[in-house]
C-alpha cells in the first residue's frame, strides 16, 4: 500500500511539474509577444510624436517670422491712411493746423528705422528697398508740407504722394495675401498630420486590445484551468477527510463500524494518511502551545523575580539602579530637578518582635500601597530590602519638600493589620541628582547618609544631604580604614583600672580598657573609635583581641601577684554574633585562665534587644563558670521583670548617678535603690566613677561592695599596674 501511495504521489508531482513547465513556456511566449507589441507601439508613438512636433515647430517658426512683419505692415497701413486723411484736410483748409501731419511723419520715420534695421527676416531685400523708398518719399513730402503754406504747392505735394501711397497700400495687400497663402499651406499640412495620427492611434488601440486578449488567454491557460483541476481534486480530498474525521471520532467513542469508503482510488490513500497525519500534527501543536504558554509564564515569572520585589510588587534594587542611571543621563540633557529619596521605617524591628513577622510583612505591603498612591505615575518607587524604600521623583523644584511632607502625612496614619492598629513613623533622606558628580552608588550613599542624619535627630523627619554629611562620612571612612590598619599593625593597647573592695580596701579585680596609640594622632580615646568599630563590624576583631590579651595579662599578673578578676567589655555585635560561647571557651583553654576569674561586662540595652537569646547565651556562659556584670545599669530600660530572669552576678552603677549623688537627692535615691536591689537579688554592686573620699564613704555606708574611679587609680598599662601593686605592698610592709 505504501508503494502504491508513493507511485500515486509521484504521478501528482509529475503533473505539477508539467503544469509548472507549461506555465513557464506560456509565460515566456506571452511576455515575448507583449514585448514585441509594446516595442511596435512605442515605435509608432515615437513616429507620430515626431511628425506632430515637426509640424508644430514649423507652424511656430512661421508665426514667429511673419507675425512681426504683419504687425508692422498693419501699423504702416494705418499710418498711411491717417497721413492721406490729414493731407486732404490741409489742402482743403489753408488754416488747418498741420501738427497732425508732423506727428504722422514722425511715426512713419520710426517705422522706417525699424524696417531699416533688418530685424524682420520674412521680407526680401528687394521688397524692403521698395518699401523704404516709398516711405522715404512720403516722409520727405510731409517735411516739405510743414515748411510751405502755398495751396498750389501743397496740391502738387499731394499729387506726388498718391503714387507712393498706392504702392505702399498695394505692397501691404500683397504681403497679407502671401501670409494667408502660407497659412493655408500650414493648415493643409497640419490636417494631413492629424489624419495620419488618427490612423496611428487606431493601430495603437488594436495592438492594446490584442495584448489584453493575450493576457486573458494566458491567465485562463496557466491559472484557471490548473486551478479548477486542483480545486476538484482537493474538494474531493476535503470530503474524504471530513468523513475520516467523523469515522475517527466514532472510533474514539468506541463506535466501531466499517470505513465510510474504500480507499482504492487516487485520493483515498492520501486522504487516510493526511487524516492521521493531521491528528498527530494537531496533537503536537496543542502540546507545543501548552509548553509555549508555560515557557512564557516562566519567563514572565523570572523577569518579575529579577526586577520586582516578591512581597510588595515594587521595583527591586536591580531595576531601581537601572532607572537611577537613566535619571542621571536625563538630568545631563536638560534640567529636570530630579531628587532621590531614601525611606526607612522607624523601629520596624520592634513590630516584628512584638507582633510577628507575618504582621510585619502585611505592614510592608500596606506601606508600599500608600507610597504608590502618594508618588506620581512617572516617578520610580522601589523596595531596596527590609524596611527600606527609595523614590526617584521628577520635577521637584522645591527639593522634594512638599513630597516629603505628603509622605510623612500618609505614612504616619494608623495601619490596620490583622485587626491590630499599628502606628509607624518614617525617616527620609533626600539627595539631589547632580549630573556632574553623581553615580547611582554615590546617590544612594548620599540619600542614606541624610536618612541616618534624620534618625539621629529623633526620627520621624526628613533631611537633605549636605557637604557636612559628606565630610562626616569621609571622616568615618578614614577612621574605618585606619582601624583596619591598626588591627593589622597591632596599634592597640590595654589599660587596666583596679576595682577596689570597699570593706578591705584591696584590689578585687581590674577592668580592661582599650586604647589606640595612633602613629600621628597619639592616644585616641575609645569614645572616638569604638562607635565606628561597632557600625563597621570591626568590633568583633577588636573584641576578640581584647579578650585574648586581657586573659593572657591576667594569667601573667596572677603568676606574680594574688588572683584577681579580669573584667572585659562585650559589645552587642560580639554578644549576638555566632559562636560567642565557643570562642570564649577556646580563649580560656588557650590562655589557661580559670573561668571564675573572667568577668564579662554587658550593657542592659544589649541584653534587652533579644531577651530570649540573651538568657540562653548568659546561661551557657554561666555554665563555663564565667561571672556576668550588667554595665551602665539605670541608663537603659532597667526592667525588673527581665532583671530577675537574667543570670547576673554584678550590677555596675553608671557614673552619671555617682557624679551628682551628693548634690542631687534624686540621684542619691536612685543609687540607694540600686544598691538595695543588688542586695535583695544577691548581686555584687559596683560603683563607677568614684573620684572623692565623700563619694567612697557614702557608697561604703550604703553597703556597696566594689568601687572604681580616679580616687583609687587611673587606668594604666599592665607594667604600671604591677609596679603600683609593688609600691603598695612595700608601703604596707614599712607600716
Residue 421 resides in a domain = yes
Residues 341, 416 within the same domain: yes
pLDDT score at 483: 87
Considering 171, 200, 226, which residue would you say is the last residue of a domain? Answer: 226
pTM above 0.85, yes or no: no
The mean pLDDT value for 24-53 works out to: 69
Domain enclosing residue 390, as ranges: 317-465
Residues 437, 491 within the same domain: no
- How far apart CA 155 and CA 60 sit, in angstroms, is 47
Q: Residue 225 contacts by C-beta under 8 Å, 6 or more apart in sequence? A: none
pLDDT score at 625: 92
pLDDT for 395 beyond 80: yes
Residues 208, 66 within the same domain: yes
pLDDT band at 19 (very low <50, low <70, confident <90, very high): low
Instruction: Using a pLDDT cut of 90, give the percent of the chain over it.
Output: 19
pLDDT score at 98: 63
Residues 157, 280 within the same domain: no
pLDDT score at 254: 47
The mean pLDDT value for 14-22 works out to: 69
pLDDT in tens, 276-290: 555 565 666 677 677
Residues 449, 561 within the same domain: no
- How far apart CA 567 and CA 520 sit, in angstroms, is 30
pLDDT band at 62 (very low <50, low <70, confident <90, very high): low
pLDDT for 376 beyond 80: yes
pLDDT band at 596 (very low <50, low <70, confident <90, very high): very high
Residues 303, 341 within the same domain: no
pLDDT for 626 beyond 90: yes
Residues 45, 178 within the same domain: yes
Q: What single DSSP character describes residue 102?
A: H
pLDDT band at 1 (very low <50, low <70, confident <90, very high): very low
Asked if 698 and 672 touch (Cβ cutoff 8 Å), the reply is: no
Residue 589 resides in a domain = yes
Between 130-134, 224-228, 460-464, the lowest mean confidence (pLDDT) is in 224-228
> What mean pLDDT, rounded, does the chain reach?
78
Of residues 248 and 88, more confidence is placed in 88
pLDDT score at 120: 53
Q: What single DSSP character describes residue 335?
A: -
Of residues 598 and 35, more confidence is placed in 598
Asked if 501 and 509 touch (Cβ cutoff 8 Å), the reply is: no
Residue 68 resides in a domain = yes
Residues 297, 332 within the same domain: no
Residue 80 resides in a domain = yes
The mean pLDDT value for 204-228 works out to: 66
pLDDT in tens, 489-529: 888 999 999 999 999 889 999 999 999 998 888 888 888 88
Domain count of the fold of the chain: 4
pLDDT band at 416 (very low <50, low <70, confident <90, very high): confident
pLDDT score at 551: 94
pLDDT score at 168: 72
pLDDT score at 259: 52
pLDDT for 487 beyond 80: yes
Residues 321, 302 within the same domain: no
pLDDT in tens, 100-142: 677 777 777 776 666 666 555 556 666 666 666 677 776 777 6
- How far apart CA 63 and CA 57 sit, in angstroms, is 10
The mean pLDDT value for 181-205 works out to: 69
Distance of CA 445 to the CA centre of its chain: 21
Write out 418-454 in H/E/C secondary structure: CCEEECCCEEEEEEECCCCCCCHHHHHHHHHHHHHHH
Distance of CA 170 to the CA centre of its chain: 96
pLDDT score at 121: 54
- How far apart CA 629 and CA 444 sit, in angstroms, is 41
pLDDT band at 256 (very low <50, low <70, confident <90, very high): very low
Q: Residue 614 contacts by C-beta under 8 Å, 6 or more apart in sequence? A: 575, 606, 607, 608, 646
Residues 606, 459 within the same domain: no
pLDDT in tens, 679-711: 988 999 999 999 999 999 999 999 999 999 999
Residue 261 resides in a domain = no
pLDDT for 601 beyond 70: yes
pLDDT score at 5: 46
Residue 237 resides in a domain = no
Between 182-186, 231-235, 602-606, 699-703, the lowest mean confidence (pLDDT) is in 231-235
pLDDT for 390 beyond 90: yes
Residues 455, 494 within the same domain: no
Residue 499 resides in a domain = yes
Place of cell 596599634: 491
Helix (H, G, I), strand (E, B) or coil at 728: helix
Of residues 29 and 10, more confidence is placed in 29
CATH number at residue 670: 3.20.20.450
- How far apart CA 537 and CA 487 sit, in angstroms, is 13
Residues 450, 530 within the same domain: no
Place of cell 599593625: 489
pLDDT band at 67 (very low <50, low <70, confident <90, very high): low
pLDDT score at 589: 92
pLDDT for 488 beyond 50: yes
Residue 207 resides in a domain = yes
Between 180-189, 352-361, 543-552, the lowest mean confidence (pLDDT) is in 180-189
Q: Which three cell numbers stand for residue 30?
A: 506571452
Of residues 552 and 51, more confidence is placed in 552
Amino acid at each position: 500500500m505504501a508503494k502504491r501511495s508513493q507511485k500515486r504521489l509521484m504521478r501528482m508531482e509529475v503533473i505539477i511539474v508539467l503544469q509548472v513547465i507549461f506555465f513557464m513556456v506560456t509565460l515566456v511566449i506571452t511576455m515575448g509577444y507583449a514585448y514585441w507589441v509594446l516595442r511596435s507601439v512605442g515605435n509608432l508613438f515615437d513616429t507620430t510624436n515626431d511628425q506632430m512636433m515637426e509640424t508644430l515647430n514649423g507652424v511656430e517658426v512661421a508665426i514667429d517670422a511673419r507675425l512681426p512683419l504683419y504687425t508692422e505692415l498693419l501699423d504702416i497701413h494705418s499710418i498711411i491712411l491717417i497721413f492721406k486723411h490729414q493731407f486732404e484736410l490741409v489742402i482743403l483748409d489753408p488754416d488747418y493746423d498741420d501738427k497732425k501731419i508732423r506727428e504722422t511723419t514722425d511715426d512713419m520715420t520710426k517705422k522706417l528705422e525699424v524696417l531699416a534695421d533688418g530685424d524682420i527676416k520674412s521680407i526680401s531685400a528687394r521688397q524692403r528697398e521698395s518699401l523704404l523708398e516709398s516711405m522715404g518719399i512720403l516722409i520727405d513730402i510731409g517735411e516739405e508740407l510743414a515748411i510751405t503754406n502755398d495751396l498750389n504747392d501743397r496740391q502738387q505735394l499731394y499729387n506726388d504722394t498718391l503714387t507712393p501711397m498706392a504702392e505702399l497700400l498695394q505692397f501691404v495687400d500683397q504681403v497679407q495675401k502671401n501670409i494667408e497663402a502660407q497659412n493655408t499651406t500650414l493648415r493643409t499640412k497640419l490636417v494631413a498630420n492629424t489624419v495620419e495620427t488618427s490612423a496611428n492611434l487606431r493601430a495603437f488601440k488594436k495592438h492594446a486590445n490584442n495584448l489584453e486578449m493575450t493576457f486573458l488567454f494566458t491567465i485562463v491557460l496557466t491559472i484557471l484551468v490548473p486551478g479548477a483541476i486542483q480545486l476538484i481534486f482537493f474538494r474531493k480530498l476535503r470530503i474524504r477527510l471530513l468523513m475520516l474525521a467523523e469515522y475517527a471520532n466514532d472510533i474514539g467513542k468506541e463506535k466501531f463500524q466499517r470505513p465510510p469508503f474504500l480507499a482504492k482510488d487516487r485520493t483515498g490513500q492520501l486522504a487516510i494518511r493526511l487524516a492521521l497525519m493531521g491528528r498527530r500534527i494537531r496533537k503536537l501543536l496543542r502540546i507545543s502551545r501548552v509548553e509555549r504558554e508555560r515557557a512564557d509564564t516562566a519567563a514572565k515569572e523570572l523577569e518579575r523575580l529579577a526586577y520586582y520585589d516578591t512581597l510588595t510588587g515594587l521595583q527591586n534594587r536591580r531595576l531601581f539602579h537601572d532607572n537611577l542611571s537613566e535619571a542621571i543621563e536625563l538630568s545631563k540633557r536638560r534640567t529636570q530637578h530630579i531628587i532621590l529619596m531614601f525611606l526607612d521605617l522607624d523601629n520596624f524591628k520592634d513590630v516584628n518582635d512584638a507582633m510577628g513577622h507575618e504582621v510585619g510583612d502585611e505592614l510592608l505591603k500596606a506601606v508600599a500601597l500608600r507610597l504608590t498612591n502618594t508618588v506620581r505615575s512617572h516617578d520610580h518607587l522601589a523596595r531596596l530590602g527590609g524596611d527600606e524604600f527609595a523614590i526617584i521623583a521628577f520635577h521637584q523644584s522645591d527639593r522634594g519638600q512638599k513630597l516629603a511632607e505628603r509622605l510623612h502625612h500618609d505614612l504616619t496614619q494608623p495601619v490596620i493589620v490583622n485587626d491590630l492598629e499599628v502606628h509607624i513613623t518614617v525617616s527620609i533622606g533626600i539627595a539631589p541628582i547632580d549630573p556632574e558628580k553623581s553615580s547611582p552608588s554615590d546617590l544612594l550613599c548620599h540619600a542614606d547618609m541624610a536618612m541616618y542624619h534624620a534618625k539621629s535627630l529623633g526620627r520621624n523627619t526628613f533631611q537633605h544631604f549636605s557637604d557636612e554629611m559628606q565630610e562626616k562620612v569621609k571622616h568615618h571612612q578614614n577612621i574605618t580604614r585606619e582601624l583596619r590598619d591598626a588591627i593589622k599593625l597591632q596599634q592597640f593597647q590595654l589599660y587596666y583600672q583596679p576595682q577596689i573592695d570597699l570593706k578591705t580596701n584591696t584590689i578585687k579585680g581590674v577592668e580592661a580598657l582599650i586604647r589606640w596609640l595612633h602613629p600621628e594622632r597619639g592616644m585616641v580615646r575609645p569614645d572616638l573609635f569604638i562607635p565606628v568599630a561597632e557600625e563597621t563590624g570591626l568590633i568583633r576583631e577588636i573584641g576578640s583581641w581584647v579578650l585574648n590579651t586581657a586573659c593572657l595579662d591576667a594569667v601573667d599578673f596572677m603568676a606574680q601577684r594574688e588572683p584577681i578578676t579580669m573584667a572585659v567589655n562585650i559589645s552587642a555585635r560580639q554578644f549576638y554574633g555566632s559562636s560567642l560561647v565557643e570562642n570564649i571557651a577556646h580563649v580560656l583553654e588557650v590562655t589557661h585562665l580559670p573561668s571564675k576569674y573572667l568577668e564579662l561586662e554587658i550593657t542592659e540595652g544589649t541584653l534587652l534587644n533579644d531577651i530570649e537569646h540573651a538568657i540562653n547565651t548568659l546561661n551557657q556562659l554561666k555554665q563555663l563558670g564565667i561571672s556576668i556584670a550588667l554595665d551602665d545599669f539605670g541608663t537603659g530600660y532597667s526592667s525588673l521583670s527581665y532583671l530577675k530572669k537574667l543570670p547576673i552576678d554584678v550590677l555596675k552603677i553608671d557614673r552619671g548617678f555617682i557624679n551628682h549623688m551628693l548634690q542631687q537627692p534624686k540621684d542619691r535615691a536612685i543609687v540607694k535603690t540600686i544598691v538595695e536591689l543588688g542586695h535583695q537579688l544577691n548581686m555584687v554592686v559596683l560603683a563607677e566613677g568614684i573620684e572623692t573620699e565623700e563619694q567612697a564613704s557614702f557608697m561604703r555606708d550604703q553597703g556597696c561592695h566594689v568601687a572604681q574611679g580616679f580616687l583609687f587609680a587611673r587606668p594604666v598599662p599592665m607594667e604600671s599596674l604591677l609596679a603600683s601593686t609593688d609600691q603598695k605592698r612595700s608601703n604596707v610592709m614599712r607600716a
